[in-house]
Structure 1
Amino acid sequence: MTIKAINARNQFQGTVKQIKRGDVVSEVEVDIGQGLITSIVSTTSVDELGLKPGSDVIALFKSTEVALASFAPA
């Protein structure tokens, strides 16, 4: 199956750098060129997507809220 279109506008292409597998969930680290994005996904999804270090992926963000924090002045 090929994705024809998707309504998530916040997309970052990258390469899986490493995967920390857990029994239920896994931490997938993706290098997007300007830094790293870490995603927590089910281990079943890691297996079904065939993810491994070196896999090309697209990180998609769809959210109604983004929380920001600032550092206290020095």
Structure 2
Amino acid sequence: MKISARNTLKGTVKSVTMGAVNAEIVIEVAAGLSITSIITKASAEQLGLAVGSEAYAVIKASDVLMAVD
């Protein structure tokens, strides 16, 4: 796989929650560190995402926002 995104984290799928249109995917990228993504249900099915499978979290963003109370 070649990709232009600089932030690519390999991990293990910990949960897949399918909705009517979207799917919530949780990937553990390090011990105790998970990333959650919402993708289309069709994409999750096409990628074959399932608990225990390996996947990549690819982060492509031009802004990262910070906030405090």
Runs of 4+ in 1 over 4 A off after TM superposition: none
Question: How many residues align structurally?
Answer: 68
Query: Which has the larger share of strand?
Result: 2
Q: Looking at CA atoms only, which structure, 1 or 2, has the larger radius of gyration?
A: 1
Cα-Cα RMSD: 1.0
1:11-69 alpha-carbon deviations (Å, 9 max, x no partner) = 11100000111010010000011401000000001100001001101101111101111
Structure 1, unmatched stretches of 5+, are none
Residue identity over aligned pairs, in percent, reads: 37
Question: What TM-score does the superposition give when structure 2 sets the normalisation length?
Answer: 0.91
Structure 2, unmatched stretches of 5+, are none
Residue of structure 1 equivalent to 2:34: 36
Question: What TM-score does the superposition give when structure 1 sets the normalisation length?
Answer: 0.86
Write the distance in 2 (CA, Å) between the matches of 1:24 and 1:58.
21
